[in-house]
Amino acid sequence: MPHPLVPPILHWFDAHRRDLPWRAADRTPWSVLVSEVMLQQTPVVRVLPVWRAWQERWPGPAELAGAGHDEVLRAWGRLGYPRRALRLHDCALTVVERHGGVLPADEAGLRSLPGIGEYTAAAVVAFAHGRRSVVLDTNVRRVLARALDGAALPTAHLTAGERTRAAAVVPPDDASAARWNAAVMELGALVCTARAPACTSCPVADRCAWLAEGRPPDALAQRRRRQGWHGTDRQARGAVMALLREAVGGGTVEAAAVEAACPDADQRERVLAGLLADHLVERNGDGLRLPRGPHLQGARTAAPTPPAAAPR
C-alpha cells in the first residue's frame, strides 16, 4: 500500500513533467551529476544554456579532467558559487584517477567525492540509475512540510526525524522510488512553490494539512534572517571574479583594476586572501588572474611534472 501522497503525485508527474535535457534518454550518470551540481541553489533557466555548452565541451570526467581551472571558471560563467566549478573539476580528476573514469554508482562512493553531499548523491542514484534513494531537497521538504505537517515552510535544518519520515513515503521498489523522487521535486518546483503555491492545480490538495488549515503563514518567519548583500565581502568576491572572467585574452588584471572593483583596502585584502585560499584566483606579478592549471598533485595525463622547487 503506497503512501497516500504517492499515487496522485506520480499521476500528476506523468502529465506535467518538464522535458529537461538532463532527463533525456541520452543522459549519462556524469551528465546528471553536472546538472545537479549546477542546480545547487541555482534556477533551472539559468543552468540550461551553461549545461548544454558544458556537455558539448566536456562530455565526461576524462574530458573535464584535462581542462584548466581558468577554462572551467569561464565556462561556469555567472551561475554563481564558482567554488562548485572547481569542486566538479576536482571530482572529475578523482573519478579518473581513483575510479577508472567511472563515476561511482552508490551513495557512499558518490558522497566521498568533492561537491557531492547528501542531496546530490541521492539525486544521482535516483535520476541517473533509476534506483531507490531518499531525495530531500528544498522542494521535497516543502511539499512534505505542507502536506504532512501543515507548515508553510520546512524548518531551517534537516533533522533525522524528517529523513525517516521522508524515507517512509518513498516507495520500496527502485523504479517507483526514482519516479517518486522526481515527481515530488517537480511538484515543489512547479506547483507547491515557496512564494505563490498553485493549490488549485495541486494533485494532493484534498489531503494537504496546510491547505486544510487555511494556509497559515510561516510561524518561524521572524527567525529566518538573511545575510545582507550590498557592500559585503561576498559581493566584492563576485565583482573580482567577474572582472577576471572577462579579462581580455584570459590575461592578467592589473592591481589598479582590482582596486577599482573593490575600493576598500581592508575588504580587498580579506577578499583576495579568501579567493587565493579557494584557488579561484592566482597572483601574476602585481596583478591577478584565474588559475591556470589544476592545483591538485599527481599526474592525470602524460604531462610532465614540473621540477620540484620551482621558484616563483
Partner DNA sequence: AACGCGTGGCT
Partner DNA sequence: TAGCCAAGCGT
Catalog residues that contact DNA under the rule CB under 7 A: 20, 22-23, 35-36, 39-44, 46, 78-83, 87, 114-121, 123, 137-139, 142, 153, 157, 185-186, 188-189, 193-196, 224, 226-227, 229, 232-234, 237-239, 241-242, 274
Shortest spacing between CB 218 and DNA, in angstroms: 7
In this structure, what DSSP letter does residue 287 have? E
The set of cell numbers assigned to 306 is: 614540473
Closest CB to DNA among 148 and 185? 185
Closest CB to DNA among 4 and 239? 239
Closest CB to DNA among 6 and 90? 90
The set of cell numbers assigned to 36 is: 545537479
Work out the number of other CB atoms within 10 angstroms of the CB of residue 131: 17
Q: Let me know if 259 is a catalytic residue.
A: no
Q: Which one-letter amino acid corresponds to residue 50?
A: V
Shortest spacing between CB 307 and DNA, in angstroms: 29
If we measure between CA atoms, which residue out of 139, 154, 147 comes closest to residue 210?
147
Closest CB to DNA among 60 and 82? 82
Shortest spacing between CB 104 and DNA, in angstroms: 14
Shortest spacing between CB 117 and DNA, in angstroms: 3
* Range list of β-strands (E), 267-309: 282-284, 287-289
> Helices marked H in the chain — which ranges?
6-16, 29-39, 44-57, 61-65, 69-76, 83-98, 107-111, 118-129, 138-144, 160-169, 174-190, 209-212, 233-245, 255-261, 265-277
List the catalytic residues. 36
